[in-house]
Amino acid sequence: MNGIHDMGGMQGLGTIGYQASEPMFQEPWEGRVFALIRAVPVGSLRPYIERIPAAEYLRMSYYERWYTAFLTRLLEQGVVTRAEVERGHADPAAGKATPAITPAVARELLFRTPREEQDIALTPRFHVGERVRGRNIHPTTHTRMPRYTRGRTGVVERLRGVFNLPDREPGAGEPTPQHVYLIRFPARALWGEDAPAHDALYIDMWEDYLESA
Amino acid sequence: MSQRHADHAHDHTDVPSEPALRVKALESLLVDKGLVDPAALDVLVDTYEHKVGPRNGAQVVARAWVDPAYKQRLLADGTAALAELGFAGGQGEKLTVVENTPTVHNVIVCTLCSCYPWPVLGLPPTWYKSSAYRSRTVMDPRGVLRELGLDLPAEVEVRVWDSNAASRYLVLPERPPGTASLSEADLARLVTRDAMIGVAKVLSPRAGGGA
């Protein structure tokens, strides 16, 4: 969706606030949010972060957004009820679950690389070196196609493998596996003649985001 | 420890911030429902506070500087080459290592969110997740780098990598001059988080490199 999160190329969004070093978590509660999300797997939270109204999104800190998305998802899936959240403890009538993530499993997560690539043989539509253009599409779902690539022409640099298209409602139907391509966009193709002639931007694009140019 | 944490330690009447209360309440609820083991949360927090971080990436970079065969494997398949040194985990499936040279400078950003190579750099710093860094780096990388203290000559090609999909990126910085006699461990100490994001160079020891 054309949400506030799709920030690439926007201007006027304040200062970077660079710091040479900082604690991994600014406040202890941030670490707890991070860990809770890992301990209760409820699927991707990115679509829920992106639906936070723009004014609130900008006002919230990073981990407030994750907390908000996590709670929304827990409620939507019926993992917790609004009444339980307000009371702060479980409905006595509700059954007691067994934690999915034990300390031993949590220790293993450090060494487990989740695999999203799909072992499916598909014929790629585009080849390395081919000129391609970002399609003029405006998905209302989550998407990994930043709007600054729409209508812009680049070159296929590399094939990344087959991955499920992320542009879908959470939990909707069968996934759509397709090739992902690394595309090189010259800076001038994206930002006009004022951009330095040699500079470039590299980004992964699913097949549905591209057309031949 | 940040100033903020230090203040907390000395001020026991401090009222917890509202998010702290809400998160604590949610944690209690999930524990009460049997969905969460608080000890597992402690392990997860400890892992990302203490066990994963830029020191991992610095070891990878130093190895690549001293071992040309390793460097070749690293550039060909980052994930496999990381595994050789024991680094794996979330956000590491498709790790692509991009090499800085005298003519090419790479810089990493995630415009849509906060994608970052956790196994080698840990969790991203706040500024990397800021709206300004996310919005500006794709359009004006040279301006952002200048603001962060790195002024690149016009003839150097700047490559911006927007980590929007499954790929995560690590910049392999240039080995600084005057380091021929350094051991791999000493080299690793020179390599900074910022150099592996691509917003800085690795300085030679005489110029004040390392932390």
CA dist B91 and B111 (Å) reads: 16
Please give the pLDDT value at position A155: 98
Please give the pLDDT value at position B8: 45
Q: Kindly report, residue by residue over A12-52, the tens digit of the pLDDT.
A: 999 999 999 999 999 999 999 999 999 998 989 999 999 99
Q: What is the dihedral of CA A67, A64, A52, B167, to 10 degrees?
A: -80
Record: contact A8-B162, CB cut-off 8 A: yes
CA dist A16 and B136 (Å) reads: 9
CA A139 vs CA A1, A35, A147, A169, A209: distances in Å: 5, 31, 10, 11, 10
A181 touches chain B (CB under 8 A): no
How close B66 comes to chain A (CA, Å)?
25
Nearest CA in chain B to A59: B131
B146 touches chain A (CB under 8 A): no
Q: What's the DSSP call for residue A150? A: B
Record: contact B27-A24, CB cut-off 8 A: no
Record: contact B1-A90, CB cut-off 8 A: no
How close B34 comes to chain A (CA, Å)?
5
Record: contact A199-B132, CB cut-off 8 A: no
The b/e string for B19-37 (b: 16+ C-beta within 10 A; e otherwise) is beebbeebbebbbbbebbb
A139 pLDDT more than 90: yes
Please give the pLDDT value at position B206: 75
Instruction: List Cβ neighbours of A62 (8 Å cut-off, separation of 6 or more).
Output: A30, B114, B126, B129
CA dist B71 and A191 (Å) reads: 34
A109 touches chain B (CB under 8 A): yes
CA distance from start to end of chain B: 16
**Are A49 and A17 within 8 A, CB to CB?**
no
B207 touches chain A (CB under 8 A): no
Q: How many A-B residue pairs are in contact by the CB < 8 A criterion?
A: 274
A209 touches chain B (CB under 8 A): no
Record: contact B154-A196, CB cut-off 8 A: yes
Write out chain B residues lying below 8 Å of A201, CB-based.
138, 159-162
Please give the pLDDT value at position B76: 97
Is this model's pTM higher than 0.80 or not?
A: yes
CA dist B66 and A46 (Å) reads: 40
B164 touches chain A (CB under 8 A): yes
Q: Phi and psi (nearest 5°) for A188?
A: -70, -30
- Number of neighbouring beta carbons within 10 Å of residue B207: 11
How close B33 comes to chain A (CA, Å)?
5
**Are B140 and B158 within 8 A, CB to CB?**
no
CA distance from start to end of chain A: 24
CA dist A127 and A166 (Å) reads: 22
Q: Which residues of B are catalytic?
A: 110, 113-115
Which of A26, A29, A207 is most worth mutating to test chain B (most B CB atoms within 10 A of its CB)?
A29
Nearest CA in chain B to A103: B40
Q: Kindly report, residue by residue over B74-92, the tens digit of the pLDDT.
A: 999 999 999 999 998 887 7
Provide the token pair at B71.
């460097």
Give 10-residue mean pLDDT values along chain B (211 residues). 44 72 96 96 94 95 98 97 91 91 98 95 97 98 98 98 95 97 97 98 78 46
Residue reference for tokens 């604690």: A23
**Are B158 and A85 within 8 A, CB to CB?**
no
Q: Kindly report, residue by residue over A61-96, the tens digit of the pLDDT.
A: 999 999 999 999 999 999 999 999 998 889 988 888
Nearest CA in chain A to B149: A18
CA dist A42 and A176 (Å) reads: 20
ipTM higher than the 0.90 cut: yes
Write out chain B residues lying below 8 Å of A148, CB-based.
111, 138-139
Please give the pLDDT value at position B13: 55
A31 touches chain B (CB under 8 A): yes
Mean pLDDT of chain A: 95
DSSP H helices in chain B? 3-10, 18-32, 38-46, 54-66, 68-76, 78-84, 118-121, 131-139, 141-147, 184-190, 193-197
- Give the residues across from A153 on adjacent strands: A133
CA dist A106 and A100 (Å) reads: 10
3-state DSSP helix/strand/coil % of chain B, to nearest 5: 50, 10, 40
CA dist A126 and A205 (Å) reads: 11
Q: Kindly report, residue by residue over A165-204, the tens digit of the pLDDT.
A: 999 887 788 899 999 999 999 999 999 999 999 999 999 9
Q: In what order do the strands lie in the sheet with B104-109?
A: A210-212, A131-134, A153-164, A177-186, A200-206, B157-162, B104-109
